[in-house]
Structure 1
């Protein structure tokens, strides 16, 4: 069972060259992703004189985040697994697929990558506003909390099915694009309500640079719960039993 596979890890995981390379890969990938995603919103706001919260702005954000995550996962998948998200790392941990110490290393790298990306954006745009995630008018904290849980569950479930499952087969080749697609789709669904973070690192960078922590807990608690549930369910039900086999084509 996956609960038996949960491990703290060995101390050398904090300084082993392979672990450090994986951490660096997570830092760079998160920087690439956040720079593209957050930067697209800032660019749209500049071009439309502050109209980033329009339907066109939502579509632009979905495309930028989907494309950016596809690239970020692709370039780090063979080095670190391409998490690019503390919620994905947490989901992998509770499913017994990464140790606690390596997970903490990933978290540090991801948060630093997001913070550096937002700092660079702020400087490169001549100190244009780097907006923190916020709730839309009429959306309560618990509404947003549920949104983040459900959207992140879908994201991490997709990661497990296409990238972590040992029986993924040829599906693994499309993992980066599938992960990018589900994030883009979720932004179209939830972006108008709470910004559709699904990623504590993505929320952390803008909040740090703008120093706006209002309702920031939602963008940690929701994704971690959603990611943890996805990891546990997929690991227990589909991987833990080691018995699931694809049905013959004629059977479905």
Structure 2
């Protein structure tokens, strides 16, 4: 089972230069992503004088998040793997592709990146609210949990198929854009119901800066379950150990 691949790592890992550089890359990538994504929503509110949500706003959010994630993953890929999401990091941990120690570094960096992005937005917009994720009318917490599980499953499954799988070949070139596309598509599907987070860091920054924690646990439980399930499924059924045949010997 893939879960047997989980590695704790060594505490000295937190002082290794490559681990610290990777954490810094995650901080910067998450800041870029959240600043553009959250900022697009704030810009739409300003343009509509805080009008009600519209289909145009949903499409704008999907495009902004898809484009920003494509860039954020691309710029971090060669340094940290371009996770930009605690659920992706958790999926990588479940599949044995990152140690727990390094994963915790990533989680801290991602949460800090999101928080700093929201603080910068609040300052740059002269105090506009960084809106926390919330459930729409008629949507209960369990509806939202299922949405977040399924959407994050699709995201992390895409990460495994295009970036993690050793058999990915040339498909790895399009990994960042594929990851951006699935997030944009999921926002179009789930944004009207629960905001379509798929990313605990994306939810954490706005909640902290606006100090709004209603149903915040949904945006942790759903993505972490979805990310872990995607890693288990892909690693179990599609990443198989192949053994090269021994060379034949003439006697």
- Which TM-score applies when normalising by structure 2? 0.95
Equivalent residues in 2 for 1:132-147 (5 A)?
A: 132-147=132-147
Match for residue 122 of structure 1?
122
Equivalent residues in 2 for 1:154-165 (5 A)?
A: 154-165=154-165
The superposition leaves residues 154-206 of structure 1 with CA deviations (integer Å, 9 ceiling, x where unpaired) of 00000000000000000000000000000000000000000000000000000
User: Which SS does the other structure have where 1:126 is aligned?
Assistant: coil
Tell me whether 1:50 sits opposite 2:42 in the alignment: no
The superposition leaves residues 122-169 of structure 1 with CA deviations (integer Å, 9 ceiling, x where unpaired) of 010000011100000111110001000000000000000000000000
Contact 1:44 1:52 in 2 (8 A): no
- Which TM-score applies when normalising by structure 1? 0.95
- Cα deviation for residue 10 of structure 1 reads 1.5
Match for residue 176 of structure 1?
176
Q: In structure 1, what is the Cα distance between the partners aligned to 2:242 and 2:174?
A: 22
- Cα deviation for residue 51 of structure 1 reads 2.8
Equivalent residues in 2 for 1:213-224 (5 A)?
A: 213-224=213-224
User: Which SS does the other structure have where 1:230 is aligned?
Assistant: helix
- Cα deviation for residue 241 of structure 1 reads 4.5
- Cα deviation for residue 52 of structure 1 reads 5.9
The superposition leaves residues 60-93 of structure 1 with CA deviations (integer Å, 9 ceiling, x where unpaired) of 0000000000000000000000000000000000
Question: Structure 1 residues 183, 52: CA separation in 2 closer, same or farther (over 3 Å shift)?
Answer: farther
Match for residue 239 of structure 2?
239
Tell me whether 1:78 sits opposite 2:94 in the alignment: no
Equivalent residues in 2 for 1:24-43 (5 A)?
A: 24-43=24-43
Contact 1:155 1:183 in 2 (8 A): yes
- Cα deviation for residue 50 of structure 1 reads 1.3
Q: In structure 1, what is the Cα distance between the partners aligned to 2:112 and 2:240?
A: 33
Query: Which ranges of structure 2 fall in alignment gaps of 5 or more residues?
Result: 244-251
User: Which SS does the other structure have where 2:238 is aligned?
Assistant: helix
Q: In structure 2, what is the Cα distance between the partners aligned to 1:177 and 1:143?
A: 28
- Cα deviation for residue 53 of structure 1 reads 1.5
Q: In structure 2, what is the Cα distance between the partners aligned to 1:145 and 1:166?
A: 31
Match for residue 60 of structure 1?
60
Contact 1:41 1:52 in 2 (8 A): no
Q: In structure 2, what is the Cα distance between the partners aligned to 1:239 and 1:10?
A: 26
Contact 1:51 1:57 in 2 (8 A): no
Q: In structure 1, what is the Cα distance between the partners aligned to 2:71 and 2:109?
A: 17
Match for residue 248 of structure 1?
none
The superposition leaves residues 32-65 of structure 1 with CA deviations (integer Å, 9 ceiling, x where unpaired) of 0000000000000000111362100000000000
Contact 1:52 1:58 in 2 (8 A): no
- Cα deviation for residue 11 of structure 1 reads 1.5
